[in-house]
Amino acid sequence: MDVGIAESAAQAASIAADLIQRAVRAKPELVLGLATGSSPVGIYDELARRVNDGRISLAAASAFMLDEYVGLSPDHPQAYRSVIDDIFTRKVDIDPARVHGPDGTAKDVEAACIEYEQAIRAAGGTDVQILGIGTDGHIAFNEPTSSLASRTRIKTLTKQTRIDNSRFFGGDLDAVPSHCLTQGIGTIVEARKIILIAAGRGKAEAIRQTVEGPVSARWPATALQHHPDVTVLLDPAAACRLDLADYYREVWANKPAWQLPLGRPSARAEPTTRADVTGTCTDTAGMPPTLHHRGVDST
């Protein structure tokens, strides 16, 4: 697992775009895995800039979304299909017909999940998967205790998650779907390369567990430790609980140029160790980040 601690969230997103740009140049027909939430928005913005100024083209690429609400039409403004269209598809030159998502309107949900798995395999599998992470370590809608071998399936949203997400539905809890379809952890880790991006103190404990903790369904993202090609990109706040932060900075700063074609965080950026940041890994309410539930934009 490569850990890059950038000087800012914007730099982390730029480095992620560097890695994707390199992958697309090597394989123009690349299959990209798309995450919703706030974490990857900077990546999408940076990719859009590069498409629009001619540095990169996604015209031959295709994409698969991680998840979708059950029961929302694809054109509903809060359907993840609509969200991805707004934050990514419409801004780049990818063919919208090659951007795929789970069918949340299917009458036979189980069959739809099987078909989605088959579609990913038929496309040759995901080449680069973009991930965010929740404060509880979830990836996609795989929340704590999800099977680390799980496949695309239906999941029930907790009441708290629905309350958190109700702000996107005008505060109407009844309008928030109670179920979603999500790629499983076993599906996600089949991607050839994974880029996980996180920013802010609220993600610090989840990042510590994911990078340095034991593999456990309690923290679903820890399954990524077994993957051969994962890059974790962080701002200093998200990295503030890492015991080995200085080590990660040193390793990243001294990588060969061919491994990092463009972005290279500095070897020393304050704060550097847990001792340096005593008291900075608590949110404004003074509660540990692990006590917070997620909304749709928590990843």
Look up tokens 């994974």; give the residue.
194
Q: What is the DSSP letter of 169?
A: G
Enzyme catalytic residues: 67, 136, 138, 143
Strands of the chain, DSSP E: 2-5, 31-34, 62-65, 67-69, 99-100, 128-131, 153-156, 179-182, 193-198, 230-234
| Cβ neighbour number for residue 286 with a 10 Å cutoff | 6
CATH class of the domain defined by 2-291: alpha beta
Contact (Cβ atoms closer than 8 angstroms) between residue 106 and residue 99: no
pLDDT reading at 271 higher than 50: no
In the structure, what pLDDT confidence band is assigned to residue 260 with cuts at 50, 70 and 90?
A: low
Contact (Cβ atoms closer than 8 angstroms) between residue 180 and residue 153: no
Which pLDDT tens digit goes with each residue over 112-123? 999 999 999 999
pTM of the model: 0.88
Which pLDDT tens digit goes with each residue over 66-107? 999 999 999 999 999 999 999 999 999 999 999 999 999 999
Q: Give the start-to-end residue ranges of the domains of the chain.
A: 2-291
